[in-house]
Amino acid sequence: MAVSNKQLFIYSNGRQIVNTNAQEIIFKAIAVSSDGGNNGLNISESTGKFDFNAKVLGNIAAGSAAGQALSFSQIGANNGVAGLDSGGKVPSAQLPNSIMEYKGAFDPSTHVPNLKNAAVKSLKVIQDLTYAAKTAGVAGDLITITYVSDVTQGNETAAAFGNVFTVHIETAVSTATQIKAAVDAANVLVDVTISGTGGTAQTTVTGVALEGGRDLANTGDVWKATAVGTHDFGAGGIVFAIGDYAIFNGTVFEKAHSGADAVVSVNGEAGAVVLDADDISDTATTKKFYTASQARSDLIAATITDNDTTHAPDGNSVFDALALKSDTTHNHTGVYDAVADHYASYTNKEGGAITIRQFVFMSAAGEVQLLTSADTVGEDTIFGCVQAATIANDAAGNIWLPEMGTRITGFTSLTVGSKFWAHATVAGSYVTTRPTTGKVIYLGYAASATDLVFVGKFEHEFIA
């Protein structure tokens, strides 16, 4: 502000008191302070700027165009300027809703917080006052309003603890106007208006529920899932994995995965999923889950069928099929089979009697003794079975010979298909479990509960 060639005239009560063209113009305003002293305001334009000497410039109009000053009230106000918080950042409340704001953690398994698409904000009339939640919530978000009589008239107060809003009154004395003043002073959870006569005395009430109280989500608000779970925002359940985001688009919530390539779910499960065969059905698939018994049932046939290339025959079907190839002109169904080449007479040298259906072996001298797998026998040994009656020691008697298809009857409680081997210690007897030590002598297999197909074959010997 150049003033060197300007005249400045200052008048007081119509009389000129200053006439100057000095380089420096000084205004001195005199005001009386509350303590009766003087406060001076000096405005200096000696350096190209005004110096207000650290005084506050007040009562200025709010600027609205270029070149005009802004008042303090325009900070953070509509059509004003954004303010800064204590960290030098613009507060999120002064940013557009379209900017994403992280709101905190979200547990979809326990539904905390219980995020919803739609908001609820209800009104409740209590005597002569109408209450409304300050912020919207969802159905079930309740604020409980209670009047408690524990103060005297004129000392009414109100306070909130969690979602419980308590008003302290003198029952039947405190007026609606006094209660409204206490609620307004608290400035939490609820707003209240007088809906009746403000002077009417009010009485205590307990447990009036008002819906609302949760901040309604703004466009771009974001919550991060901290657990695996399914949450319903109001349009059906959405499955969340740890780290997924719930984002409010202004109308409804959407889910964003924590990674672009993340697997959403496996077989309807999210998180660290571990599946076993019980979790997956194979009814509609070409590839099946098989147990050992299913595999045997499907791949092993109990009979031999021409041109069947997909099944393996079991041992019984092989023996039965070979038996059908034997000399069918002979009768092999009874103990007294008269076919000479199926039995022969041998002398018993056991040292005691041998009885029907006991197993024996032939010595080099053509004599028989009861068989155990511990006997001195080998691949050239002939084995037999006592045919029809007890043979006394040193007496001769008929012995079945192990021709293919020789069928010995008279046994009891045999399991069809089970196999028989010479007993290791009980002379003339058998076992149905294949030996794993000593000599292995295969005697035959059960064709029925009473019949044994006699094979009589030395297989091998385990050498320790």
Residue 7 lies in a domain: yes
Boundary (domain end) residue, out of 211, 242, 259: 211
Asked whether residue 192 is assigned to any structural domain, the reply reads: yes
Considering the domain architecture, whether residues 452 and 378 belong to the same structural domain is answered as: yes
What does DSSP say about strands 367-370 and 343-348: parallel, antiparallel, or unpaired?
A: parallel
Provide the pLDDT for residue 126: 95
Cβ atoms of 254 and 132 closer than 8 Å: no
User: Which pLDDT value is given to residue 37?
Assistant: 41
Of 211, 235, 254, the position where a domain reaches its end is 211
> How far apart are alpha carbons 427 and 368 in whole angstroms?
12
Instruction: State residue 41's pLDDT score.
Output: 52
pLDDT at position 147: 97
> CA–CA separation, 362 vs 367, rounded Å?
5
For residue 93, is it within any domain? no
Together in a domain, 52 and 138: no
Q: Are 130 and 63 part of one and the same domain? A: no
Cα 155 to Cα 150: distance, rounded to the nearest angstrom: 10
Shared domain for 371 and 453, answered yes or no, is: yes
Q: Is residue 250 part of a domain?
A: no
**pLDDT value at residue 26:** 42
| pLDDT value at residue 30 | 35
Structural domain ending residue among the three candidates 164, 195, 211: 211
Is residue 227 a contact partner of residue 270, using CB atoms and an 8 Å limit? no
Asked if 439 and 347 sit in the same domain, the reply is: yes
pLDDT of residue 363: 87
Say if residue 350 is in the same domain as residue 457. yes
420 assigned to some structural domain: yes
User: Does residue 75 sit in the same domain as residue 132?
Assistant: no
**In a domain? residue 52:** yes
Pair (71, 159) in one structural domain? no
Find, among 385, 382, 390, the residue nearest to 362 by Cα. 382
Q: How wide is the angle at C-alpha 95 spanned by C-alphas 90 and 100, nearest 5°? A: 110
Q: Give the pTM.
A: 0.32
From first to last of its 464 residues, the chain has per-residue pLDDT tens of 444 444 555 555 555 555 554 444 444 333 333 444 445 555 555 566 666 666 777 777 777 777 777 777 778 777 778 888 888 888 877 776 557 788 889 999 998 888 888 777 889 999 999 999 988 776 678 899 999 999 999 999 999 988 899 999 999 999 999 999 999 999 988 999 999 888 999 999 998 998 887 656 678 889 999 999 999 988 889 999 998 999 988 788 999 887 655 666 777 777 678 888 777 777 777 777 777 777 767 777 767 777 777 777 776 777 766 766 655 555 444 343 434 457 888 999 999 999 999 999 998 888 999 999 888 898 888 899 998 889 999 999 998 887 656 888 889 999 999 999 999 999 999 999 999 888 999 999 998 999 998 888 898 888 86
Residue 277 falls inside a structural domain: no
Range of the domain at 201: 123-211
- Sheet with 407-408, side-by-side order of all strands: 407-408, 452-461, 439-446, 419-422, 430-431
425/367 same-domain check: yes
For residues 28 and 129, membership in a common domain is answered with no
Q: Is residue 73 domain-shared with residue 149, that is, in the same domain?
A: no
Q: How far is CA 98 from the centre of its chain?
A: 33
Note whether 383 and 448 are same-domain residues: yes
Q: Which two tokens stand for residue 9?
A: 């005239």
Give the total number of structural domains in the chain: 3
pLDDT value, residue 323: 64
Residue labelled with tokens 């190209």 = 48
Q: How far apart are CA 440 and CA 419, in angstroms?
A: 12
pLDDT, residue 324, reads 63
Asked whether residue 146 is domain-assigned, the answer is yes
